[in-house]
Amino acid sequence: MKLVILDGGDVIPGLPWRQKVEGSRVTDIDYYDNTPAGLAVERMRGAQLVLTNKVVISAEMMDSLPDLKYIGVMATGYNVVDVKAAAGHGIVVSNIPAYSTDSVAQMTWAHILNIYNRVDYYARQNRDGRWCRSKSFCYYDSTIHELAGKVMGVVGLGNIGMKVAQIALAFGMKVLAVTSKPQDSLPEGIAAVRLETLLAQSDVVSLHLPLTASSREMINSGSLALMKPDAVLINTGRGGLVNERDLADALNEGRLAAFGADVLSCEPASPDNPLTGARNCYLTPHIAWASHEARSRLVDICKQNIRSFLDGNPINVVS
């Protein structure tokens, strides 16, 4: 069996991936850090098994790949593959569910703690020698705040949203959630509310839901107007959940205290994205999922998916 890994460069570095993926029935592996769209079909030709992270595999491509039997998406989201076309070609498509819950929840709180404790601000001041020049043992001209007693709003209570909510409870926060789960199924301390209520009452709002027609740009000028001017917004979900121009305006005009995000609507970031230069905006480059431990789990699940497919009992199938 021949396996082609189209774009392992963002997933695999630093991991013993070959030992994890290859086996007695995977005898030939072609590995690429990245694959331009124009080279994808050529590189997949003759392969029975393909792994992709962000390289799109369309219906037209599948028409040219009669040997292809299995596509493994090295991510939870599988929109890069036309799964309907794959089913029509008899191609099994699998994904990697719930591998990065702890990693993304940790990054969510890294953003919150950075903003509330002003970590980036004081670290930059000290790199410039300010502490060395201080007349006292400390200085604090940028206010820090405690989380205890504040209201945390979690929009979307899937695996990651629930983890974020549980951490908020551990900090002594009150937790509001927008969720389809009934109130009697939620852990003690989490109250299900409408989005408008959550936005109006929360000191911190964190987005944890998929990008759909109904959720696209759910954070816009109207929803931002409902939020407290000293509130903090966090997005480790999908960049398209926010209207970036409306959000940048709110930050620059002091109608929102701060924004922390790991995602943007277009990635890599466009130089003219209004958030890249916005006031009190803290961006990380879509790395919340990418802890060493999470990537190790991802590769392990990839191997399990491939083995299960070759054994005739595919798992994590989305096609």
- Catalytic residue chosen out of the listed positions 216, 245, 255, 286: 286
Given a contact cutoff of 8 angstroms between Cβ atoms, the answer to whether 199 and 233 are in contact is no
Is 238 assigned a catalytic role? yes
Contact 175, 191 (CB under 8 A): yes
For 82, 259, 306, the CA distances from 92, given in Å and listed in that order, are 11, 40, 10
Distance from C-alpha of 256 to C-alpha of 247, rounded to nearest angstrom: 8
Determine which one of 208, 238, 295, 297 is catalytic.
Answer: 238
HSE-up (13 A, CA, CB side) for residue 181: 20
Question: Would residue 292 show up in a list of annotated catalytic residues for this protein?
Answer: no
Residue 24 gets which letter from DSSP?
T
Say if residue 195 is exposed, middle or buried (CB neighbours under 10 Å; 0-12, 13-18, 19+): middle
Q: Where does the chain have alpha helices with state H? A: 17-21, 40-44, 59-63, 83-88, 101-117, 119-127, 130-133, 159-170, 195-201, 221-226, 244-252, 292-310
Catalytic, out of 42, 267, 292, 293 = 267
Q: Take residue 168 and report the two structure tokens written for it.
A: 């908020």
Q: Which residues pair with 153 in a beta bridge?
A: 176, 205
Active site residue 42: no
- What single DSSP character describes residue 237? S
Q: In whole angstroms, what is the distance from residue 96 CA to residue 168 CA?
A: 27
Tokens read off for 293: 């431990």
Would you name the residues annotated as active-site residues? 238, 267, 286
